[in-house]
A and B are shown apart, each in its own frame.
Chain A
């Protein structure tokens, strides 16, 4: 089938098999491998993208269902050589990253959270992160990074 989709503000016309997930199409057809696919079953959040601004597990979304919708992936946060987003910068400063596989998904979840609520509480941050599993870091630096942003927002 022919799919017309907007990814990170670029329009794509792709010939895909209807059974494929958005995650697969992003990674294999478009070459945006920032989006990860660690479980393929909707439980780890490594494949999280924004669909019309809302976080979604792209491994569970059939690519065919995204026609006409706006997809944003981790690559949209700091395109090309532009500066890191405030959230990326905060995670960098906290030295939060380890293997890095979960971060693309975590970034999309938190980007959506911060858009809705620029100064979330610690509880709100942790609840939002429940959709994303990180096996390496033990989460606290990620929480701290967002709290630092929230505090800046309030100050």
Chain B
């Protein structure tokens, strides 16, 4: 019998079945008599639908049902209710669903979808954010003003959502005579999550309810959104989730589920819908492409006295997650360095392109790139050592963040010291072989150290723990195992440790909204924190009940009992004890079975009053940081970047399972290298994504990867169980920054774009890369803000002027 320890490298319990090929993902589920569904998708990016003719499709043998806009009247949205299941009047992106078919076989369903005739009056698509922001731009949503929104916030025309921060007086800072002003512009492309299991759902309609088995990160939000679209009560929808074959944020939204639900009801049969890889490449909610202008005023000591930034995020055709994510800029751009005064604005822009969404670290992956490249430009301009600048300016205990929250604990300073030491001592370094900036083989050598900040998206979670008569326990939550190990590794470890039962005696029920309480979903590094916290609380309740049972049986007072090695033991008399299994069995015949329930939520944080507008998240609840260092070689002829060494020191709070965390870091950083170097999505003038599969979308392979040198930084403050913070989200965050800064240091050139594909690097080296000016973003921050800038400022001037230190 062994109880798990916190900090123990336990292996995950789902690995063996996954290696045997036994694990059943949703994609492996083919119920008897299932119908297959296929979507009719738009083949233009913009247009007005004038007629839909389904007669030929309906006549096809084996077709059981066809649905379109009239069948799904509901409207959904995260911040703005701007989306219906099917295009009804307007087509807004290439690939937008217009109709769905259920048929006896997938081939018949696809053939029928092809036979549906859609008459479209094409419109000139609005493809780029620059076009979308032109004063006479066609509106992607002509009726935008009539849409409901869930939070107060500014939007208008092709600006789907705006979030801003105003703290302190940047005008005064930039007007100071002793400051140096540095301005930089950046742009990045999209990144496809490329989870291996496509979005897939099997739906059934029985007992008057919809049962959806689906590959998602967010069972409860699938329940809610499906109900909204179908205009039925939420309780009419049950969502279950088996193992999920990768997600990375791309399954944080409802996707194919409502189609399957509607078709299941209409046909009375199970309906299975699965995206093809091409559909995933064309319509997955990719990390958005973005444009960033950032301007700073630096005083003679190298302190940042003023900073203004504008971030344009391409939402695509609907606001969705990207609208929600506009708030994140305050943390990812404004949470790392101390800023005496700051103004930030992020806008989600409507374009006639597929809607973008959440992807691991979300806008942090590019805001960190912009921030660290800008920092490098500042140091070049003022002639200051980068490390010295960073150590001087990183947030420390008590520093206010951009939104005026006080930072808790010194983390970034020590992280910089640790990464310095790690990189200095590293046996993999090639720096000592460099002569005149070149490696012995003639390639250019570059190195960079960068920092990044994110936060754990804590939010509400519920957990129930049942103590079974044999002493085993069952943990019931809506947590989903997406591959990160939080449900199959961390939660059993936490529960085993807390209850003192063998880790193999802890079973975790697959997510089921009928069985468990509410949960926000798996993402934002929150699972181990929130579901871990809820499960710990549930275990504490079970323990309390166990003590009462043991006290009765041992004829001792509850106060005289304590838990030692998985048994209730009389203090001072270790021989008098009752094991958990015995308590469980005894309870069965006396009090009845024991169980406990627990919940967890964010604590709520204090931010300076009046300084934010349009924020859909409350605050920087549980900040988390990482420092990265990399060494690269650049082939001056081909522009090919080889990563020679990669190192990180990551703040994890407390490492429940260091080996599992290292696996997350290794995987996240390699994904980041894909983002930094070769994962490129381009959008043609007609609004179509040009990479339709893995042949043209270049994912990292085993010949691209390298072992990351990892150190975990523990004991930073956290109110998570055992002091844990989420570890899976942040590893990808600073990789684009690290590679770009290393390239800038290798070449002495300005690096303004990601990904750094060989052709782009060649252009940078030969000075033929167009310098990026982003003229549609003004250097005067006020011009970029949709809300009334002086009203935003007036509010904050009333708020207390924050002292930095």
Please list the residues of chain A having a beta carbon within 8 angstroms of any beta carbon in chain B: 17, 19, 27-28, 32-41, 43-44, 46, 73-75, 77-78, 84, 88, 91-93, 95-104, 107, 125-127, 129-130, 132-143
- Cβ-based interface call for B24 (8 A): yes
A46 to B196, CA, bound (A): 8
Which chain B residues border A74 with CB–CB below 8 Å? 20-21
Which chain B residues border A103 with CB–CB below 8 Å? 18-19, 21
In the bound complex, do residue B18 and residue A100 qualify as a contact, i.e. CB atoms below 8 Å apart? yes
In the bound complex, do residue B19 and residue A44 qualify as a contact, i.e. CB atoms below 8 Å apart? no
Least CB separation from B483: chain A residue: A99
In the bound complex, do residue B28 and residue A27 qualify as a contact, i.e. CB atoms below 8 Å apart? yes
In the bound complex, do residue A139 and residue B14 qualify as a contact, i.e. CB atoms below 8 Å apart? no
Which chain B residues border A136 with CB–CB below 8 Å? 246, 483, 667
Which chain B residues border A133 with CB–CB below 8 Å? 196, 694, 699, 701
23 A–B pairs (Cβ distance < 8 Å), ordered by A: A27-B28, A27-B30, A35-B21, A36-B27, A38-B277, A40-B276, A41-B695, A44-B694, A74-B21, A75-B20, A84-B20, A96-B663, A98-B246, A99-B196, A101-B196, A103-B21, A107-B19, A134-B702, A136-B483, A138-B668, A139-B701, A141-B663, A142-B702
In the bound complex, do residue A41 and residue B703 qualify as a contact, i.e. CB atoms below 8 Å apart? no
Q: How near does chain B come to A64, taking the closest CB pair, in angstroms? A: 15
- Cβ-based interface call for B705 (8 A): yes
Q: How near does chain A come to B412, taking the closest CB pair, in angstroms? A: 25
Which chain A residues border B699 with CB–CB below 8 Å? 133, 135
Known A-B contacts A84-B16, A139-B705; A100 and B245 likewise in contact (beta carbons under 8 Å): yes
- Cβ-based interface call for B305 (8 A): no
In the bound complex, do residue A38 and residue B198 qualify as a contact, i.e. CB atoms below 8 Å apart? yes
The residue in B25, B198, B669, B702 that gathers the most chain A C-beta atoms within 10 A of its C-beta is B702
Known A-B contacts A99-B197, A133-B699, A140-B705; A92 and B16 likewise in contact (beta carbons under 8 Å): yes
Partner of A126, one of B21, B485, B667, B703: B703
> What 0/1 readout, one digit per residue, does chain B (22-58) give for beta carbons within 8 Å of chain A?
1111011010000000000000000000000000000
Which chain B residues border A98 with CB–CB below 8 Å? 246, 483-485, 663, 667
> What 0/1 readout, one digit per residue, does chain B (239-264) give for beta carbons within 8 Å of chain A?
00001111110000000000000000
Known A-B contacts A33-B24, A39-B694, A135-B671; A127 and B703 likewise in contact (beta carbons under 8 Å): yes
In the bound complex, do residue A91 and residue B19 qualify as a contact, i.e. CB atoms below 8 Å apart? yes
The residue in A37, A88, A96, A98 that gathers the most chain B C-beta atoms within 10 A of its C-beta is A98
Which chain A residues border B18 with CB–CB below 8 Å? 97, 100, 103
- Cβ-based interface call for B11 (8 A): yes
Q: How near does chain A come to B24, taking the closest CB pair, in angstroms? A: 7
Which chain A residues border B693 with CB–CB below 8 Å? 39, 41, 43
The residue in B27, B244, B245 that gathers the most chain A C-beta atoms within 10 A of its C-beta is B245
A141 to B12, CA, bound (A): 14
A81 to B153, CA, bound (A): 59
A46 to B245, CA, bound (A): 12
Q: How near does chain A come to B665, taking the closest CB pair, in angstroms? A: 9
Least CB separation from A41: chain B residue: B693
A98 to B663, CA, bound (A): 8
- Cβ-based interface call for B794 (8 A): no
In the bound complex, do residue A100 and residue B483 qualify as a contact, i.e. CB atoms below 8 Å apart? yes
Which chain B residues border A33 with CB–CB below 8 Å? 21, 24, 28
A143 to B243, CA, bound (A): 24
Which chain A residues border B198 with CB–CB below 8 Å? 38
Q: How near does chain A come to B248, taking the closest CB pair, in angstroms? A: 7
In the bound complex, do residue A78 and residue B671 qualify as a contact, i.e. CB atoms below 8 Å apart? no
A117 to B12, CA, bound (A): 30
Q: How near does chain A come to B325, taking the closest CB pair, in angstroms? A: 21
> What 0/1 readout, one digit per residue, does chain B (598-615) give for beta carbons within 8 Å of chain A?
000000000000000000
In the bound complex, do residue B30 and residue A28 qualify as a contact, i.e. CB atoms below 8 Å apart? yes
Which chain B residues border A75 with CB–CB below 8 Å? 20-22
A121 to B15, CA, bound (A): 25
Q: How near does chain A come to B214, taking the closest CB pair, in angstroms? A: 15
A46 to B15, CA, bound (A): 16
In the bound complex, do residue B19 and residue A84 qualify as a contact, i.e. CB atoms below 8 Å apart? yes
A109 to B25, CA, bound (A): 22
Known A-B contacts A34-B21, A139-B705, A141-B663; A97 and B15 likewise in contact (beta carbons under 8 Å): yes
Which chain A residues border B703 with CB–CB below 8 Å? 126-127, 129-130
In the bound complex, do residue A101 and residue B667 qualify as a contact, i.e. CB atoms below 8 Å apart? no
Partner of B694, one of A27, A34, A43, A129: A43
A5 to B332, CA, bound (A): 56
Those of B470-498 within 8 Å (CB) of chain A: 482-485
Known A-B contacts A84-B19, A91-B19; A100 and B243 likewise in contact (beta carbons under 8 Å): yes
> A99-B246, A99-B482 provided; 7 other pairs, C-beta below 8 A?
A39-B277, A41-B695, A93-B11, A97-B15, A98-B483, A136-B246, A139-B701
In the bound complex, do residue B14 and residue A97 qualify as a contact, i.e. CB atoms below 8 Å apart? yes
Which chain A residues border B701 with CB–CB below 8 Å? 129-130, 133, 139
Q: How near does chain A come to B705, taking the closest CB pair, in angstroms? A: 4
In the bound complex, do residue A141 and residue B19 qualify as a contact, i.e. CB atoms below 8 Å apart? no
Least CB separation from A133: chain B residue: B699
In the bound complex, do residue A73 and residue B21 qualify as a contact, i.e. CB atoms below 8 Å apart? yes
| List of 5 A-B pairs having minimum Cβ-Cβ separation, nearest first | A34-B21, A99-B483, A100-B18, A138-B670, A129-B702
